[in-house]
Amino acid sequence: MRFGLKDLPNLISIARILLSLPVAYLLLEERFGEALLLFFIAGVSDAVDGYLAKRFGWHSRLGSILDPLADKILLITSFLCLTLVDIIPLWLLVMVFGRDLIIIIGAAAFHIFVGQYEMAPTWISKINTTLQIVLVLALVLSYGVYPLPGELLLWLVYGVSVTTVLSGLDYVWIWGRKAYHLKSGQR
């Protein structure tokens, strides 16, 4: 298989997926300062692959899947590891994982029963993802480098839980309506 410069954003996304392994190790070992450094590297790599794709037009269907997948794998890995070391409550992990599972199952069902789709994040989903990232970074920072107020961390947990529910319902509503209208329009 031959790679060219246009494949660079995809290779960076793949590297970010692989970065989730050392992040998991460091979180499970409670080496939060080092994990924070890897989060920084992941964030920079996300910005770089996005810049390259936009600047040079190196867009691909694979890239549109790999980039958000890399982010999601890193987030879910972080949530799982922080739950295993008793920092994130189990109920929040179940909510976040459950929402993602519902979205994946819904997307697969839509594809099978309705047709091809282009999934785009909604505004509430973007808020949810942002809060998830902020929560993970705040917890890792607080446990490893600089303790943050417990109230702030608690409000972030609540913010993630509320936006997780709202974004899950939003996806079900939007894609359920699209499926209904597309199927009823074919009759």
pLDDT one-digit tens code per residue, 90-101: 999 999 999 999
Domain ranges of the chain: 1-86, 88-187
Q: Mean pLDDT over residues 72-78, rounded? A: 95
Q: Which of 5-14, 80-89, 107-116 has the lowest mean pLDDT?
A: 107-116
Q: Is the dihedral of CA 42, 95, 168, 69 positive or negative?
A: positive
**How many Cα atoms occupy the beta-carbon half-sphere of 183 within 13 Å?**
12
User: How much is the mean pLDDT over the chain?
Assistant: 93
Determine the pLDDT at residue 115. Answer: 85
**How many Cα atoms occupy the beta-carbon half-sphere of 111 within 13 Å?**
9
Determine the pLDDT at residue 77. Answer: 97
C-alpha 161/C-alpha 167 separation (Å) is 10
Whether the pLDDT of residue 65 is over 90: the answer is: no
Cβ atoms 181, 114 nearer than 8 A: no
> In the chain, how many H helices and how many E strands?
6, 0
Determine the pLDDT at residue 186. Answer: 57
Determine the pLDDT at residue 121. Answer: 85
What is the helix (H) or strand (E) element at residue 129, kind and residue range? helix 123-144
